[in-house]
């Protein structure tokens, strides 16, 4: 199985008529994803390579039965787009856009939790989600992912999401689902959300977790793993050599007051029974050993 999305998921692209939206929308559809609609209030009635454009998400949902949305619009419009998707009946939203203001993220995160608790938001500032061979929503290159399980991947780093997929494919190890949660300060989906879903997925036998410096998400995940996850986990934490007090890449990747260091996260994960690699390749090798033991 896969988590959150599969081959039956119908996806609306908010921003399909733009350059990035149309490019990745086409790639995702070629991969096999059911890209059933796009939205643009001024281009309703047109199409992009045969995919119909509707004025808004509610109309697209009504006409196509879509349950997921992918947002490819400028940062200033993401707050409105997220709420339009939720109000329009979508239950899974992927927001790829980077540079979304933190106060906007906090606003729609809390509004979704309060008014639309059944809606799952992934992102913003994330590569998206891929269930290899079934569905690809976002910007992950499909050819680097091997289908068939038994590993689930959750990653806070975009680039390392791709490397984790490629490391496993090189070792002929398939993936059930790979989720790039993004590294912004207010992510819609957390490590724990994914760990919980992988734990209950019968086809996911092991989990690979990629973290980075800054914040406390990895330490919180370690506590959750210790108490709730029975499946083996391998991990890598990026940023071992990052200087304290310096932002490294993501808005959330900043070490402050001695908290959020790579070393602290690695120690917390190891204490929870996670096998932690010193680099992405070693994390992949640790996972290969885990899979070989099945």
Among 10-14, 183-187, 268-272, whose mean pLDDT is lowest?
183-187
At 157, is the pLDDT very low, low, confident or very high (cuts 50, 70, 90)?
confident
Q: Are strands 92-95 and 68-71 parallel, antiparallel or unpaired?
A: parallel
Q: Is the pLDDT of residue 251 over 50?
A: no
The tens digit of pLDDT for each residue in 162-199 reads 999 999 999 999 999 999 999 998 999 999 999 999 99
The tens digit of pLDDT for each residue in 122-144 reads 999 999 999 999 999 999 999 99
Give the CA angle between residues 237, 238, 244 to the nearest 5°: 110
Please give the pLDDT value at position 284.
95
State whether CATH 3.40.50.261 applies to domain 141-292: yes
Domain ranges within the chain, ordered by starting residue: 10-122, 141-292
Please give the pLDDT value at position 77.
97
Please give the pLDDT value at position 158.
86
Calculate what percentage of the chain has a pLDDT beyond 70.
Answer: 94
250 is catalytic: yes
Give the CA angle between residues 233, 237, 242 to the nearest 5°: 170
The tens digit of pLDDT for each residue in 228-248 reads 999 999 999 997 766 655 555
| Mean pLDDT across the chain | 93
Encoding tokens for residue 134? 């079934």
Please give the pLDDT value at position 260.
79
CATH number, domain 10-122 = 3.40.50.720
Looking at residues 139-157, what average pLDDT do you find?
96
* Among candidate residues 198, 196, 190, the one with its CA nearest the CA of residue 252: 190
Q: What are all long-range contacts of 245-248, with beta carbons under 8 Å and residues at least 24 apart?
A: 247/214, 248/212, 248/213, 248/214
Looking at residues 187-214, what average pLDDT do you find?
97
Please give the pLDDT value at position 66.
98
Encoding tokens for residue 255? 């070490």
Looking at residues 68-82, what average pLDDT do you find?
97
Residue 176 and residue 153: Cα distance in Å, rounded? 8
Encoding tokens for residue 84? 């339009």
| Active-site entry in 40, 103, 107, 250 | 250
150 cis-preceded (ω within 30 degrees of 0): yes
What are phi and psi for residue 255, nearest 5 degrees?
A: -95, 130
Looking at residues 9-13, what average pLDDT do you find?
98
Topology agreement, domain 10-122 and domain 141-292: yes
Residue 52 and residue 287: Cα distance in Å, rounded? 42
């Amino acid at each position: 199985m896969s988590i959150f999305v599969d081959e039956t998921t119908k996806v609306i692209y908010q921003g399909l008529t733009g350059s990035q939206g149309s490019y990745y929308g086409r790639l995702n559809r070629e991969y096999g994803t059911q890209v059933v609609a796009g939205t643009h209030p001024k281009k309703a009635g047109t199409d992009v390579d045969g995919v119909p454009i509707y004025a808004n998400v509610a109309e697209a949902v009504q006409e196509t039965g879509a349950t997921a949305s992918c947002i490819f619009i400028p940062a200033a419009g993401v707050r409105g787009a997220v709420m339009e998707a939720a109000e329009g009946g979508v239950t899974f939203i992927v927001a790829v856009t980077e540079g979304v203001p933190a106060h906007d993220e906090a606003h729609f995160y809390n509004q979704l939790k309060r008014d639309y608790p059944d809606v799952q938001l992934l992102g913003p500032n994330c590569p998206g989600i891929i269930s290899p061979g079934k569905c690809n929503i976002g910007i992950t290159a499909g050819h680097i992912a091997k289908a068939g399980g038994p590993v689930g991947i959750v990653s806070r780093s975009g680039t390392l999401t791709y490397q984790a997929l490629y490391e496993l494919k090189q070792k002929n190890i398939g993936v059930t689902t790979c989720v790039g949660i993004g590294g912004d300060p207010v992510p819609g989906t957390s490590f724990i959300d994914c760990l919980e879903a992988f734990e209950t997925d019968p086809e996911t036998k092991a989990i690979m977790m990629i973290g980075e410096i800054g914040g406390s998400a990895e330490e919180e995940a370690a506590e959750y793993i210790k108490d709730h996850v029975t499946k083996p986990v391998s991990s890598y934490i990026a940023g071992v050599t990052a200087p304290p007090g310096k932002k490294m890449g993501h808005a959330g990747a900043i070490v402050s007051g001695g908290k959020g260091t790579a070393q602290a996260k690695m120690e917390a994960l190891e204490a929870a029974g996670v096998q932690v690699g010193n680099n992405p390749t070693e994390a992949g090798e640790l996972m290969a050993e885990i899979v070989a033991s099945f």
